[in-house]
Amino acid sequence: MKKKWKTLTAVCCAAALALSLTACSGSSDNAGSAASQEAPDAGSAAADTAQTSGRTDLNVRISDAFSTVDPHNLSLNSDIMLCRQIYEPLYWLNDKAEEVPMLATDYSVSDDGLIWTFTLREGVTFQNGEPLKASDVVYSYERCFDNAYMQEKVEAIDSVNAPDDSTVELHLKYQFSPLMEKIASIGIVSEAFVEANKDDQGLLGFNACGTGAYSVKEAIPDVSVTLEAYEGYWGGAAPIKTLNFEQITDDTTAITAFEAGEIDIMNVPSANWEEISSNDAFETSARPSNHVVYLIFNTETEPFNNKALRQAVAYAVNRQDIIDVAADGLAEPATTLATSYMFGYTEDHKSYEYDPEKAKELLAQAGYPDGLDIGSIKTMGGSYFEKVMQVVQAELSEIGINCTIESMDGNSLVNDCITGNFSLADMGQTLSLDYDFLKTYFNEEYINGLNMARFSDSKIQSLFEQGASTTDKEERLAIYKEIEDLTQEACAYVPLYNLQSTAAWTKDLSYTPSITGIMYKDVSWK
C-alpha cells in the first residue's frame, strides 16, 4: 500500500479564480522523439512597443491571500501567479500545449523513454547575478521529491543528475507521457541562495532569487507585493519596470479603484461584468477557463459512504440555477471534472442531469425514503462558493435532505476537507490540461491531499498508471475514457460549472489574455 501524503496546510483550490492560472498546461505525447526549438525572445515583443504613456509601473489587484513565493511550496493561485514572474522551468507549454524552451534550449529522449536529457541555455543568471548551473536544476528537482505540494509533479522521476554544468538528465521510473507538463510547473532555484536563506522548515517565505523577468522588491503578506524588473534577464528586460500587487478582498472596493485608475488590470467579478464590459474606457475579455467548481463528498464516513445517496445529490442540483446565482451566468454547466481544454476529455460520459424525481428514487434506494439531515455543509464565506451552497441547500431540501451552511475562511475550509473533517463541501480548482492530473482526485496516495473525497479504487489507480506510461495517444484516450466511466459512476464529486475568465484592463495597456496565466514581461504600455 502506498503511503498517504502529509496534510497540506492549503491548496490552490481554496482560492477564487484570480488573474493567474495554475502553472500547468496540456499534454506532450512525443516521448521518444527529440525536440529542438528556439525560444522567443521573452521580452523583445513587449520591449519593442513604444511607451507613449510615459509609465513604467503597473498596478494589479490580487483578490485572495498570498503567503509565499517559494516555488516548491505553493498553495494559492496568487502565490503561483507571483512565482511565475520570478522563477522559470526548463520548458513551458503555451495555450496550444506547444513546447516552449525556457531554461533549456533542447532535449532528447532515450529509446526506452526513461532518460530525458536537457541542454541548458547559455548566459542565464539568477537575479543575484550568479550563473545558472546544472547543479541548480538537480537541487531544484530533488527539493521537490519530499514535498507534498510537488509530489504529483515528480513522482515519475527516479533521479536527476548533471553530467556537466550545462546538461541535466532526468531518469524516470517508467515511461511517462505527461512529463513535459510536469516540467512546466517546476521553477528552478539557486542552490546557494536557498541554502543561505531557508528557514528552519527549509522554506523561503518571501526570500526569492530566480531566473525570471522580475524579482521581489518588497512583500507585506496579505497587503501588497512589489516586483521589479530584472535588468539582467536573459530574454531582455521587461518594459514594465515595477509591478505593484495590492490585495483587495472586497469586490466593490476593487471596482471603484479600477474605475478611478488606481488599478490598471484585474479579474472582474461576475456581478460587475456588465458594468465594466460596457465601459468604453476599458478592454475586456471573457473566455472559457479550465477552472471547475464542484461538490465534494467525504466518502469514508456516513452518510456519503453510500454511493446511491451521492448520486441522489448529483441529480438534485440544478447547475443552471447555480450558475445564474453564483456566477451571474458567466459559466458553463459541468458534468465531469475534466474540462474541454484537457487532453483526455470526452463528451461521451455518464452525466447527472437535473432530475429531482430520480434523486428521490435514489434517496429511497440509499435507505432514506423519508429523507435525512446531513448536518452542516462547508463553504468559503463571502465568496461565490457560499452562493453555490445556498442554492444547493435549497434544492436538497426539495428532495428531503436537510442541512445548514457553515461558512469559513479558505484555509480553514481546505484544512477540514483534506483531513476529512467534513461531510459535504464545495471547492474550485484550476485544473491541469492533461487528464493524468485527475489521479490526484481519485488515488489513495493523494488522500490528505487533493483527494479530498478520500475515495480510492484499485482498478482506477491501475488505469491511471497505464495511461501515464502509454505513449500512443489513442491508447491513452481509450484508457482515460474507461477511467471517466468508472469515476462518474462512483460520484465522489459533483461537478457544477466551469467559470469563465473575465479580465479587464485600461485601453492604454497592451495585453493578451492567456489560459496558461499572465506573464507580465509580455505586458507593456502603448
Mind listing the pLDDT tens digit for each residue in 448-505? 888 999 999 999 999 999 998 888 889 999 999 999 999 999 999 999 999 888 899 9
The grid cell for 322 is 447555480
Structural domain contains residue 383: yes
Statement to judge: residues 70 and 121 lie in one domain: yes
Statement to judge: residues 400 and 335 lie in one domain: yes
Structural domain contains residue 520: no
Domain end point (choices 190, 214, 246): 246
Hey, which residues does 226 pair with through a beta bridge?
218, 244
Statement to judge: residues 241 and 297 lie in one domain: no
Torsion sign over Cα 282, 287, 290, 292: positive
| Cα pseudo-dihedral 332, 336, 338, 344, rounded to 10 | -120
Identify the domain containing residue 406 by its residue range.
Answer: 289-500
Domain end point (choices 246, 278, 301): 246
Tell how strand 57-62 and strand 372-380 pair up.
Answer: unpaired
Q: Is pTM beyond 0.95 here?
A: no
pLDDT band at 430 (very low <50, low <70, confident <90, very high): confident
Structural domain contains residue 148: yes
Statement to judge: residues 174 and 236 lie in one domain: yes
Share of the chain above pLDDT 90, in %: 64
- Whole-angstrom distance, CA of residue 80 vs CA of residue 212: 14
- Whole-angstrom distance, CA of residue 481 vs CA of residue 159: 31
**Residues making up the chain, counted from first to last:** 526
pLDDT above 80 (res 45): no
What are 91-108's pLDDT values in tens digits?
Answer: 998 877 789 999 999 999
Structural domain contains residue 52: no
CATH number, residue 181: 3.40.190.10
Tell how strand 57-62 and strand 242-247 pair up.
Answer: parallel
Statement to judge: residues 350 and 468 lie in one domain: yes
pLDDT band at 510 (very low <50, low <70, confident <90, very high): very high
Give the N- to C-terminal CA distance of the chain in Å, as an integer. Answer: 58
Number of domains in the chain: 2
Calculate mean pLDDT across residues 25-50: 36
Structural domain contains residue 242: yes
pLDDT band at 53 (very low <50, low <70, confident <90, very high): low
CATH number, residue 427: 3.10.105.10
Structural domain contains residue 349: yes
Statement to judge: residues 194 and 82 lie in one domain: yes
Burial class (CB in 10 A: 0-12, 13-18, 19+), 333: middle
pLDDT band at 167 (very low <50, low <70, confident <90, very high): very high
Q: What is the b/e burial string over 359-384, where b = at least 16 CB atoms within 10 angstroms of the residue's CB?
A: bbbbbeebebeeebebeebbbbbebb
- Please state, in angstroms and as integers, the Cα–Cα distance from residue 187 to each residue in 82, 138, 206, following that order: 12, 12, 15
Domain end point (choices 214, 246, 278): 246
- Whole-angstrom distance, CA of residue 480 vs CA of residue 159: 28
